[in-house]
Structures are given as structure tokens and as C-alpha cells.
Amino acid sequence: MNDTIEHIVVVGGGSAGWLTAGVLAAEHPLRVTLVESPAVPTIGVGEGTWPSMRDTLHRIGVSESDFFRECDAAFKQGSRFDRWVSGADDDIYFHPFVLPQGYGDANLAGAWQRAHPQVPFADLVSYQPHLCVQGRAPKQASTPEFAGVANYGYHLDAGKFGVFLRDHCVNKLGVRHVVGHVDAIRSKDNGDVAALALREGGIVEGDLFVDCSGMQSLLLGQHYGVALLHQRHVLFNDSALAVQVPYAREDSPIAAQTTSTAQPNGWIWDIGLPGRRGIGHVYSSAHSSDEDAERHLRAYIAASGGPADIPSPRKLGFEPGYRERFWHRNVVAIGLSAGFIEPLEASALALVELSAGWLADDMPVTRARMDTVAARFNEAFTYRWERIIDFLKLHYVLSKRSDTRYWTEHREAASIPERLQDLLQLWRARPPSRRDFSRIEEVFPAASWQYILYGMGFRLEGAPRASDRPDLADDAFREAARLTARMLPALPSNRELLDHIRRHGLPRI
């Protein structure tokens, strides 16, 4: 019997489906078919990415200049958190994409706490918050595509991104695109999926099926009944109201970071693209009515310079959780079909990239070898989901807001994963280190944990240690300040560089 894997079928044409199809088709000479329902729209949100998206786009062979032009994309250099700790006007901290200067060489947090407690931690150890405050781009017009002076990801228009990826996958990578609604699933005797039957007629056979069907999880969740592990007891948000808002003027500055502003029962994202802002309120339906959430959204938009007459926001609901396993038999779920928690820190597309990359790298040659790859995939991604949950929860655990039940309940011990509680104990004595997050592709490295901890007022206790190396920490602080002074005048504004890219493009590598 020939059990060679020759034909991959991706179900779903959202960002997850096209990114996965692109990565697989760019890497392998396998046949890749993507089936997309004409009746079920894509989710249409998901506009903040990580720097990993640069590698993914490069890997599938797109031009970064085309991507900027066609996806209304902008640079993202990290996240800014407003009002998360006390709720006051000056309650602001950054989680930049650049690692702290001197990261791993010295106890930066200890030296910061002892010698410079009046300066925000990220401002002392990194030039990037300063670039963000000044709206600087992370590179110059002469910097080649995908290269950066400072590390960056993207803000993009999700709808345009889907079309851009589809055209590239179909025209350049040879992905077969089938527009059809999967109505039924045909099984083999051994329980594997054999083929998909389409409502429009016809069937699509395959050897390996990638379920990118969005929240309904057509193959993994519905067909195989793989359970969703609910996380509502840890992270309460399950609703969002999203809206697109024009700039006051055509030449208004474009923010260099995603701004997340805490609200009484959730938080608001604010993402700047060249042509508009994307703004949304994520909240817990157990703590807020939709009307209240909309009122806070409108108040935020008005206070941040947006128009008074915004269109009605789009309501999105989600059940926070992830699947008990992601790869079952010859089906692997990637994207919303695998799970979704909430968009704080924008980890969903990064997980799609990691999943697609893993699948491409470890693609089983035969069905007989598939179960070994599946077991490793399931172990790795369960670990990743758990770390993401811990990391997101950290933002709520460290808040000192007490204005609503939403914030105080987030700090109740019963809602905090045990592993996170243990780490917080440990980190009273020393900062998060690589030892705490030792996998090669950690979703959030120890540096990210440090930015959140010290941005939110967590403090080390106990006496300094010989290994703290305050001399090296001081060197690092000076180097961060020197780089800030050098970069600020040398880098164009976001809008200047994006206008330049639109007209002239960036040098190809």
C-alpha cells in the first residue's frame, strides 16, 4: 500500500489557511489545495503581528514593499500599556520587541531598582520605547526589505492580507484554490479523513488535512470531537467590539506600537495603519453589557482624537480556550480552529506561523511516520498555549486596579495558574531568566516577562548577589542611552518611511 504523503488539503481561507498553505508550498514539492467556503466569511480581525511575520513572509517569497502597499501595513515595534496598573493618566509602560541591552549579562532589574527606580525599566534598558514615543520607523529608506535597524513586526489590514496571501499562494506557489463549502467528511476504514464532500458538488481527497476552518473547528472539533479546554476561569474576556476609524488628517502620525488601554471590564486596542486606525474593545460579558462596552469604546475614540460619528462597531464573540490536542490522526488544526484566548499581546498569528513552520519542517513522509510527529507537535503546542495563558494572565495579576470586580477577581488565587504563582514567588528573589523558559522557540522569552513585571511595578526582594554584575548593567544602561541618542535623529517617522515605500519601495535583499 502506498502511504506516502503527497497531497495536503487546507480547509479555510483566512490568515491561518493562506499562511499555512504558503509555508508548506514554499518548502515542499507536495501538492497543496486550499478549500474555502463562499458562504462563511473570514473573521476579518487580527491586525497586529510579531517580528516572526517578517521571517514567514520572507520564507514564502513575497516582496515586503508589495506587502506594505497592498495590505495597508505599518511597522509595529511592540505594545504600550496604558492604565493597567493604577488606572491613572500617567500609568504607561512599554513592552518593546528589542531585547533589553545587556540581557543575560547582568541583573538589569536589580541595578535599575537600586540606582534608577525613577526611570521606567523599559526606558532604561532599551532605545525602542523612545522610538515609539517619537513615532520613529524601525529602519531607513536604504535598509533592505525584511532587515531592521530596530526589531519590528507589522500592523496590517486583515482583509487585504488574506487577498494578498491568496494571490501569492495561487500565482507564485502553485497552491490550488477550491471555492466550495465542506458539507460532509468521508472517512477511511482506519478512521482517518479520506476526503471532503462539497455542497457545490465534487470531493477533495487528500493525505493530510489542515483544519483552518476558524472557530467552528470543522475537522478537529466537530468531526473528531476533540474537546476545547476552556480558560474562562483564568482569562475572562469573551467578547470584542471592533471598528475602523479615519485619521483626523491625511498626514496624521502613525503610531509605532499597539496601544492597549485598560477599561473597567476589559481593554481597548488601538492599531495605526497608513490609511486608518483599527480600534476594538475586548471585554468580559460576565462583567459588562455590550452597551457599556460600546460606551467606553466611543469615549476612548473621542478622547483620542477620533470622529464623534463612528459606524456601529462589529461584535465578535469567542470562547477562550484551546484544544486538548491539535493533531489527531491525519488532521492538524492551525489558527482559530486550534483555539483562541484573547488578543492581548497578539499571539494568535504568531502561533499560526509556529505551527505552519513546524508542520513544514517535520512533514511526515509517510502516514506510518505521522503519529510520531503528531505526538511531538501536540506536546510542543500544549506547552506553548499554557505559557501564553500564564503570560497574558500576568498582566491582570500585577494590576492594582480595584475599580471593578473584573480587576479584583483576576487577582483571586483560584484564577491564577499554579505555575504562574510559583514563578512569581521565584521572581521575588531573582529576575526571570532563560532557565525558566529554556525551549529553543519560547513564545515569550524571559525578556518579555521582565518588561511586563517591571513595567507593572513588581520588585525584587533580598540582598544583591555577586553574580548581579551592576558594572555590566551600568554599561548596558549607558549603551541603551547612546543608541537612543544616535537613532532618534537618524530614523524617519513612520509616515515618512511608509510614504516612501508606497512610492519607491525598499531595496530587495
Q: Which residues here bind ligand FAD, judged by CB under 6 A?
A: 11-17, 35-37, 40, 42-43, 45-49, 158, 181-182, 212-214, 216, 218, 240, 242, 280, 316, 318, 335-337, 343, 346, 348-349
Q: Which residue type does 460 have?
A: L
The least CB distance from residue 320 to ligand FAD, in Å, is 10
Q: Is 356 helix (H, G, I), strand (E, B) or coil?
A: helix
* Residue with Cβ nearer ligand FAD (17 or 100): 17
Q: Which residue, 297, 351, 263, 310, is CA-closest to 82?
A: 263
The least CB distance from residue 152 to ligand FAD, in Å, is 15
Q: CB–CB of 32/233 below 8 Å?
A: no
- CA–CA dist 88, 68 (Å, integer): 36
Q: Which residue, 397, 357, 258, 266, is CA-closest to 320?
A: 266
Secondary-structure percent of the chain, ordered helix, strand, coil, rounded to 5: 40, 20, 45
* Residue with Cβ nearer ligand FAD (85 or 196): 196
**DSSP one-letter code for 492:** P
Pairing mode, strands 314-317 and 239-245: antiparallel
- CA–CA dist 27, 173 (Å, integer): 10
The least CB distance from residue 97 to ligand FAD, in Å, is 14
- CA–CA dist 45, 173 (Å, integer): 25
The least CB distance from residue 84 to ligand FAD, in Å, is 17
The least CB distance from residue 486 to ligand FAD, in Å, is 31
Q: Is 175 helix (H, G, I), strand (E, B) or coil?
A: coil
Task: Provide the sign of the torsion angle of the four alpha carbons 487, 490, 495, 499, taken in this order.
Answer: negative
Bridge partners for 230 per DSSP: 321
Annotate 59-116 with DSSP letters as a single string. Answer: HHT--HHHHHHHTT-EEE-EEEEESSSS--TT-EEEEESSPPTTTTTS-HHHHHHHH-
Per the listing, cell 460619528 goes with 309
* Residue with Cβ nearer ligand FAD (16 or 24): 16
Q: Which residue type does 11 have?
A: V
The least CB distance from residue 485 to ligand FAD, in Å, is 32
The least CB distance from residue 113 to ligand FAD, in Å, is 32
* Residue with Cβ nearer ligand FAD (110 or 343): 343
The least CB distance from residue 492 to ligand FAD, in Å, is 25
- CA–CA dist 209, 182 (Å, integer): 13
Per the listing, cell 501536540 goes with 378
Q: Grid coordinates representing 507?
A: 531595496
Q: Grid coordinates representing 6?
A: 503527497
The least CB distance from residue 215 to ligand FAD, in Å, is 6
The least CB distance from residue 158 to ligand FAD, in Å, is 6
Q: CB–CB of 417/280 below 8 Å?
A: no
Residues recorded for the chain: 509
The least CB distance from residue 35 to ligand FAD, in Å, is 5
- CA–CA dist 179, 12 (Å, integer): 10
* Residue with Cβ nearer ligand FAD (235 or 349): 349
* Residue with Cβ nearer ligand FAD (36 or 157): 36
- CA–CA dist 10, 409 (Å, integer): 40
* Residue with Cβ nearer ligand FAD (280 or 432): 280
Beta-carbon neighbour count of residue 403 at 10 Å? 13
